[in-house]
Amino acid sequence: MTMWRFRFGPLAFCLIGLLLFVGMGRAEDAPTSAASSSLMTPQMQQELFDALDLSGDALQPVRDAVAKGDYAAAEHALAQYYRNRTSVPWTFDPRHPQRDVAFKDPIAEDAVNGKVVGGLVPLPHTFPGNKIDWLYNETLVAPGAPHNFEWQWQLCRMDFWNHLGAAYRATGDEKYARAWVQQFRSFVAQNPVPDHVENSAPSAWRTIECGIRMSGSWPNAFYSFLLSPEFTDEDLALYLHACLGHAHYLAKYRTTGNWLTMEMAGLYTIGALYPEFKEAKTWRAQAAGQLDDEQTRQFLPDGAQFELSPGYHNVALDNVMTIPRLAKQVGRLDELPAGYVAGMERAFDYDLYLMTPDRSLPKFNDSWPVGIKGVLHKALDFFPGRAEYQWVGSDGKDGHAPAETSHAFPWAGFYAMRSGWERDANYGVLRAGPIGYGHCQQDKLDFLIWPYGRELLFSSGGGSYEQSKWRSYATDTYGHNCVIVDGKAQRQQTRDRMANVSKAPIDARWESTPDHDFAAGVYDQGYGNETDRIATQTRRVLFLKPDIFVVADTLAPNDAASHAYQARWHLLTTQSRIDKSTNTLVTTDPGRPNLAIVPLLPDGLEVRSATAQTEPELLGWNVCKDLVPEYVPATTLLHTRQGTGVQNFLTLFLPLKAGEPNPVTSVKSTGPGAALVTLADGRQLAVTADLNPSGGLEAAETLADGTPGRHVKAGESHP
């Protein structure tokens, strides 16, 4: 509108503005831009119209114009067709926008002025005139910022287009449409479809970004601005031509893992939303068939996606389910392979049974907080009879909690232990399986605890995908609840991805009863490098329900030399103290559940903690993923011992309710691998670990009045 004000006198401008106001929202009156240079070359026009099936009655005006060689008229007729088409719905109706006079979105306001943020790192950059350089990376120039390829890659996911579209639907203000058209045209002008796959930096055509934008930000923008006068006939034709290029690219250059699920979700979306393309049915069939096959390739029999990252499990799951959701929306469910939907129920069950008390998932392998309540609520669209999904999705208002509490995932190697399904339950989880197909971290035998519903003994997930010491620390054994040997971290091979995917249930022990859970796993691979197999670690975990965890770590060296072993325990707090009389560390956050960590074999054991340490190494940090601030002080507890021969750690974890003080008054050794703990309430707890790591654990409670309490012997033999 500003350019027209400049070109015409005030009266002419007012008349034009009045005509536009009267015609606003009428599809047949949408104008052709006179202000922008043409990007649709005659060759592109011919490619587009050759790719479309123009045989239907509704497309006869397009067919007639093409027959005459009048591509401008054909573009206009094609645009009229799409603006009036109602047969292919999206998640909102552009003809009936939900206006909101109070709508405000800072991301949309910034994007109007070309101020956008790329991926993961919250560093903005302003592109004058909305002519975005889609290969630009702010992390290369921002002072002090670690280099992160994701800034540029995820810039090309155009998430800010979703914000521009939402702002336009809420307000009808053409500035949002104008900004989007400028940005869209800048992408097409700068980034023609390559004739080879471009999955390296810098690239606007990584297949993962192509799939994501085709199933999200692009169709959202298309339907948001479809009736805007700023979105001209040529722009619409340009958009369809760009979708055609994306479809050919995605169909040809598909990859593997969670990337493949995003690529095929994008390909299917193009075929479903623009069925006028001659190849649309082929694209839909390819995408649905590929992801139907991936259900048995990527999702293990216990439901876990083979990357063994709970976060990426849900990325893959959501993209696999994008196809039936969209198919249902556009009336094409009958095209899907038989059993497509039913086969994914086990993947939702994985979320259900691994779910933490705060309705998220453990952050193993490049993971992040996942809202399981929303995931299972969406699952009801296809599994309405699952009362457990109803219970989680409604936050306990409907359905019922699962009958089973603790749960083993024998292919993934996750062992979830819980006292119940309440939000204030005690929960622990052992990771005893393989490293996984992708997004791997060196953290076998990691163990996490949520005392009374609070995430406390934690894994950070590894932070953003930057190149920094923080990322290295958070993804390596140093940043996990594991044991390091001679200062060296675990080194499992990552070159052969499929070798890190279970072909059968893993060799681990598990038993679960109403009274207790027991899990045990072994790490026998390299430290420092893949071939240096200094020692073999066995970790056994006993959960005496509802409120006692015991962890026994046995380190058996593979030579006669003396070695140093350090068990690390990472706590999501900076408030803790160590009782020097018992070496018990207690977290001390007021008004919140806390945790006491009690070493039961004190002879020769060094105990110390660190918070927000940076030298000589990082200790005591939560390296957050995609959050600000990214590096948050936490606490690392270090239990260190050294010597020749087999070395043992035996550690007691006691969840504490809010306000509960240190419950441990004394710890007394009662023999090799055995200790007696006296508690402030008068109880005593005798803990014994079989010195043979293939043996079991025992915990016996004596009440304050001297009568026997709980008593469990677990893991005495393989199942």
Q: How far apart are CA 292 and CA 343, in angstroms?
A: 8
Residue range 136-143: mean pLDDT, rounded: 94
pLDDT digit string, tens, across residues 38-96 = 899 999 999 999 999 999 999 999 999 999 999 999 999 999 999 999 999 999 999 99
- Distance of alpha carbon 485 from alpha carbon 537, whole angstroms: 10
Q: Give the total number of structural domains in the chain.
A: 1
Taking phi over 0 as left and psi of -120 to 50 as alpha, with beta for the rest, 56 belongs to: beta
Any idea which of 12-21, 175-184, 468-477 has the lowest mean pLDDT? Answer: 12-21
CATH number of domain containing 568: 2.70.98.70
Query: What percentage of residues in the chain have a pLDDT greater than 70?
Result: 94
Give the DSSP per-residue string, 505-523.
Answer: --S-EEEE-SSEEEEEEEE
Q: How confident is the model at residue 288 (pLDDT cuts 50, 70, 90)?
A: very high
Unique residue bearing structure tokens 């991926």: 119
What average pLDDT score do residues 118-130 get?
Answer: 90
Residue 614 — φ and ψ, nearest 5°? -115, -25
**Domain contains 612:** yes
Q: Where are the beta strands (DSSP E) in 323-451?
A: 407-409, 414-418, 427-431, 447-450
By the 8 A CB rule, do 379 and 386 touch?
Answer: yes
Q: How far is the C-alpha of 676 from the C-alpha of 687, rounded, in Å?
A: 6
Answer whether 603's CB lies under 8 Å from 647's CB: no
Determine, yes or no, domain membership for 500. yes
- Residue 144 pLDDT: 85
Flag whether 463 is in a domain: yes
Give a yes or no: residue 7 inside a domain.
no
Identify the domain containing residue 654 by its residue range.
414-660
Residue 33 has pLDDT above 80, yes or no: no
d(CA 410, CA 521): 11
Question: Are the C-beta atoms of 691 and 672 separated by less than 8 Å?
Answer: yes
Examine residue 89 and say whether the peptide bond preceding it is cis (omega within 30 degrees of 0): no
What is the rounded average pLDDT of the residues 185-198? 97
Q: Is residue 649 part of a domain?
A: yes
Spatial distance between the Cα atoms of 676 and 670, rounded to a whole number of angstroms: 7
Q: Judge whether residue 711 has pLDDT over 80.
A: yes
Q: What is the pTM of this model?
A: 0.92
What's the pLDDT at 19?
31
**Residue 98 domain flag:** no
Q: Which is nearest to 698 in space by CA: 614, 579, 596, 600?
A: 600
Return the DSSP state at 637.
E
- Dihedral-angle region of residue 432 (phi above 0 means left; psi in -120 to 50 means alpha; beta otherwise): alpha
Rg (CA), the chain: 30
Whether 15 has a pLDDT exceeding 60, the answer reads no
Whether the per-residue pLDDT at 160 is higher than 70: the answer is yes
Helix (H, G, I), strand (E, B) or coil at 33: coil
Banded pLDDT at 717 (limits 50, 70, 90): low
The answer as to whether 487 is a domain residue is: yes
For 613-665, the pLDDT digits (tens) are: 999 999 999 999 878 888 999 999 999 999 999 999 999 999 999 999 999 99
Residue 656 counted as domain residue? yes
- C-alpha to C-alpha distance for 604 and 347, rounded to whole angstroms: 46
CA distances from 150 to 36, 163, 315, 667 (A): 31, 20, 17, 50
pLDDT greater than 60 at residue 27: no
25 band by pLDDT with thresholds 50, 70 and 90: very low
Distance (Å, whole) CA 566 – CA 569: 10
CA distance 283 to 275: 10
Give the side-chain half-sphere CA count within 13 A for 194.
Answer: 13
Q: Kindly report the backbone phi and psi dihedral angles of residue 669, in degrees, each rounded to the nearest multiple of 5, phi listed first.
A: -70, 135
- Mean pLDDT value across residues 232-247: 98
Tokens of 17: 């503005």
